[in-house]
Amino acid sequence: MQKYYVEKVKNYVGGEFTLSSSREWMPVTNPATGDKIGDVPQGTTADVDAAVAAAKKAFPAWREVPAPVRARYLFDLRNLMEKHYDELLSICTQEHGKTFEESKGDVRRGIDNVETAAGIPMMMMGDCLEQVATGIDCISFRQPMGVFGVIAPYNFPSMVPLWFVPYAIATGNTVVVKPSEQVPFSQYRLFELIHELKLPPGVVNMVNGGKDVVNGILDHKDIAGVSFVGSSPVAEHVAKRCAATGKRYQALGGAKNFTLVMDDCDWEKSIANIVDSAFGCAGQRCLATSIAVGVGASAYKKLEEQILARAKQIKVGNGHDAGVTMGPVVSARHKERVLAYIEKGIAEGAKLLLDGRNCKVDGHPNGHFIGPTVFAGVTPEMTIGHEEIFGPVLSLMEARDIGHAIAMAKAHPLANASSIYTSNGAHARKFTHEIDAAMVGVNIGVAAPMAYFTFGGSKGSFFGDLKAHGRESIAFYTQNKTAIQRWW
């Protein structure tokens, strides 16, 4: 492993790396070791103003660049990411803590989106009807809108900004990206690669920082729209502020994902899948199973026994080390938050089947490790039964029948992802038809739509109209124009 260290993370404005105007810097540490790996600025509205000005200046010329030529920059970016793939994986693991294998998912899914957006000449096509009236043709086409802001969470440092940036620039817009201040390095390295593309200055910009930068983006009069991913309270804040300032927005929020386990499922494969979903990335995935519901007494009993046996096999450690299947959570603060949920679960009467509170990893006294934790007998009224924990804590619930289990999931205000394990097509069909979650798995633990399908939840997990990637993304970053033409 090559140790990554950046003395001061810079912004990227108008094609150059620049220092933030902020005097406040925050240390960023490797969650497995506690070692400092660099400093990130708090970021200021002046930083946002500079980046937006550069993006605004670049827009008129960039929108005139033909779509196939814009796409070629993305082919080049894809090739550069492949060339530096291992390095990108290592940076991701160092700053986030996820295992090297999990970082492959993070970086690869980012590349998928770059590749998909490179198909923009086909994806951006409009509609046409010749002879809409006698001698009159009608064409409808999509045009870029200007500057877009992209605001990211910490849990997929490499991938999430790439859910947006490739489509935004491929459609002819310019962007300002704000990475998570907890994990700024994957984006910093990506921007070094972007710099090699020799894009016209200002097409892609980056401002580091926290909520001042976010609010600077939300309030900026020269920003046309915002793509946000993070927790639901902040997603709602983004939505309200964008609405107040007349911007488009797509704000992907938090999750409390239910998984239904029917007695007729393939138990061995299903349990392996559920455990991976719940504890992969130390539970810090917006598609992670948070609650597994055994449907019927027999299924519930098997669920308890088999989840416990499988979860005990997880090997916690530094994500860079071979054989490790679960890394630390992102920070000491987040570890405290997750531990507080575990205490609450115990206090409110859930049965602690597997206790991850005193997890120690040899040679890593300062890592933010929590072992896999499993609660049985959880009810929706308990705090752990309804709040998003975002850590390696799985709650088991029992339902009378499939209708009861679906009703439990639907009663929750968040509806990001949900899965069912069954070998019965009628159960699968009923679940898929009735569940509110917008990303649905049938014998799939992490129901993550690929780049060419729409990504995003529903109810309190999503604010906006048009979701991420796929065709909706193209609609989000463009506006429709219809021309009705008659030539005398």
Residue of 92, 242, 281, 286 marked active site = 286
Q: Tell me the angle at which helices 185-196 and 67-83 cross, rounded to the nearest 10 degrees.
A: 120
Contact positions vs ligand NAD (CB under 6 A): 151-155, 178, 180-181, 210-211, 214-215, 229-231, 234, 237, 252-255, 286, 388, 390, 416, 457, 461
Nearest residue (CB) to ligand NAD, 13 versus 177: 177
Give the containing element (helix H, strand E) for 439: strand 439-442
Nearest residue (CB) to ligand NAD, 397 versus 437: 437
Determine whether 286 is an active site residue: yes
Neighbour tally for 458: CB within 10 Å:
15
Nearest residue (CB) to ligand NAD, 136 versus 340: 340
The Cα 119–Cα 112 span in angstroms is: 11
Q: How far is CA 46 from CA 15, 205, 360, 458, in A?
A: 17, 14, 44, 35
The radius of gyration of the chain's CA atoms, rounded to the nearest angstrom, is 23
User: Residue 5: how many CA atoms within 13 Å on its side-chain side?
Assistant: 4
Neighbour tally for 449: CB within 10 Å:
18
Assigned token pair, 205: 């910009």
Q: How far is the CB of 287 from ligand NAD (least distance, A)?
A: 7
Cβ atoms of residues 447 and 297 within 8 Å:
no
Q: How far is the CB of 180 from ligand NAD (least distance, A)?
A: 5
**Closest to 415 in 3D by CA, of 253, 228, 249, 237:** 253
Sign for the pseudo-dihedral over CA of 421, 422, 423, 428? negative
Burial of 114 (0-12, 13-18, 19+ CB in 10 A): buried
**Per-residue b or e along 425-445, where b marks 16 or more CB atoms closer than 10 Å to that residue's CB:** eebbebbeeebbbbbbbeebb
The Cα 350–Cα 5 span in angstroms is: 43
DSSP class of residue 468 equals B
Nearest residue (CB) to ligand NAD, 448 versus 475: 448
Nearest residue (CB) to ligand NAD, 18 versus 215: 215
The residue at minimum Cβ distance from ligand NAD is 230
Backbone angle region of 124, left / alpha / beta, with phi > 0 → left and psi within -120 to 50 → alpha: alpha
Nearest residue (CB) to ligand NAD, 259 versus 270: 259
Q: How far is the CB of 399 from ligand NAD (least distance, A)?
A: 24
Q: How far is the CB of 463 from ligand NAD (least distance, A)?
A: 10
Q: How far is the CB of 129 from ligand NAD (least distance, A)?
A: 37
Nearest residue (CB) to ligand NAD, 304 versus 436: 436
Helices (DSSP H) in 280-400: which residue ranges?
297-311, 332-347, 383-386
Catalytic residues: 286
